[in-house]
Amino acid sequence: MSKKKETDQIIQNYGARQSRQYLAIAVTMLLLLFLVLVYKRSDIFGEVPKSIIFSAQIFCIVAFIVFSAFNWRCPACGKYLGNDIYRPFCRHCRIRLK
């Protein structure tokens, strides 16, 4: 594969990872906001124990962290990209991502 095609493939793969990361952030935030609403107004769905709601919130956060640990990696070297979602290049292998 030519260098140009390889670079284009890495950029495309990074874009897909970035899109999945945005989706995961949005879904996690919506679920957490929903669970806060249920926690504050426990009469909406009947009596839901607050410990169950708290456990669900912790589960959402842990699931997001685990997903990010697997998804948010450099398409070229496989190293974790860090917490900058607009990263123009990999800080490990220096490959261009955008």
Measured distance CA(37)–CA(61) in Å, rounded? 16
User: What pTM was estimated for this model as a whole?
Assistant: 0.85
pLDDT tens-digit profile of 66-84?
A: 999 999 999 999 999 998 8
Q: 22 has which bridge partners?
A: none
Specify the pLDDT at position 87: 87
The residue type found at 82 is G
- Position 1 scores a pLDDT of 62
pLDDT 10s per residue in the chain (98 long)?
Answer: 678 888 899 999 999 999 999 999 999 999 999 999 988 887 777 788 889 999 999 999 999 999 999 999 999 999 999 988 888 999 999 999 98
Question: What pLDDT is stored for residue 43 in this prediction?
Answer: 74
What confidence score (pLDDT) does residue 4 get? Answer: 81
Integer Cα distance of 81 and 92 in angstroms: 8
